[in-house]
Amino acid sequence: MNDLNFLRLIFELGGSFQNVNNIDLAIKANVSKASVSDRTQHLSKLGLVKYKKYYGSKLTKKGLNAVIPLVQQHRLLETWLYEKLDIPLSDVYDKASTLCEKPDLLLIDRLNTYLDYPQNCPHGNVIPINTPVPEFSKYDLLSNQSISTSTFKIINFTEDDNLFKILSNIDIKLGDELQILNINDYDHSMVVLNRRNNLKQILPKNITKMIRIETVLSKEKSV
């Protein structure tokens, strides 16, 4: 994987506004933690990430400027694959990644014209330049919520085809509203009720960490 695509992974883990740790990057890139350590130190020397040993990586202005067009192209390609070519949602991330070795400004421009300047990719993530990139706090993750009568609306997913394969099997979609019925102390898995189909599901922590939500106040409380 080239440096720019590695920066894209950092971006996808929130590296534009927070430190990203090496283990998460290693999982995302599917390489060893040693490789990640080498890489982040290398990118730091190039001034593309701010990096302090043992404390993770965050994109610099320079790194962000370099990677934004690539993220944009990647998400436009996802939108194209999903909307025009009918590729299943669970496949679009990986396929867009192999198509996305480097950014091409003309291609980005024409994709935008063709797709009519979409604001979000099929996973719910914003397409940069078309839309400003929001800063999410870690409290927006489903994994950080607690039991309540409120519901949590799914506003996006971490870009990961594996996650999508699992979610499509258990019928959880972008926009669904979930209520947390129980949290298992032992492994932090959650029992959630999906308001759309009234199904109860157990979601392990590795899944809840990849779902970003916004709180919807319960009707009882808002009245």
> Distance (Å, rounded) from C-alpha 14 to C-alpha 57?
10
E-assigned strand segments in the chain: 49-51, 57-59, 151-157, 177-183, 190-194, 199-203, 211-216
116: left (phi over 0), alpha (psi -120 to 50) or beta: left
Tell whether residue 199 is a contact of a second copy (CB under 8 A). Answer: no
The answer to whether residue 169 forms part of the interface with a second copy (CB under 8 A) is: no
Sole binder of DNA in the list 34, 105, 107, 202 (CB under 7 A): 34
Q: Does 32 bind DNA (CB under 7 A)?
A: yes
Number of H helices, E strands in the chain: 9, 7
Residue 22 contacts DNA per CB under 7 A: yes
Residue closer to DNA by CB (options 31, 216) is: 31
30 near a second copy (CB under 8 A): no
Q: What is the spatial distance between Cα 212 and Cα 142, in angstroms, rounded to a whole number?
A: 6
Closest distance to a second copy from the beta carbon of 181 (Å): 38
Stretch that binds a second copy, among 41-49, 96-104, 173-181, 197-205 (CB under 8 A): 96-104
> Can residue 37 be called a binding residue for DNA (CB under 7 A)?
yes
Q: Which of 42, 50, 95, 205 touches a second copy (CB under 8 A)?
A: 95
Binding-site residue total for DNA (CB under 7 A)?
23
Name, in order, each residue with C-beta under 8 angstroms of 168's C-beta and a sequence gap of 6 or more. Answer: 88, 89, 90
Give yes or no for residue 87 binding a second copy (CB under 8 A): yes
User: Under the criterion CB under 7 A, does residue 141 sit at the interface with DNA?
Assistant: no
Distance CA 16, CA 59 (A): 5
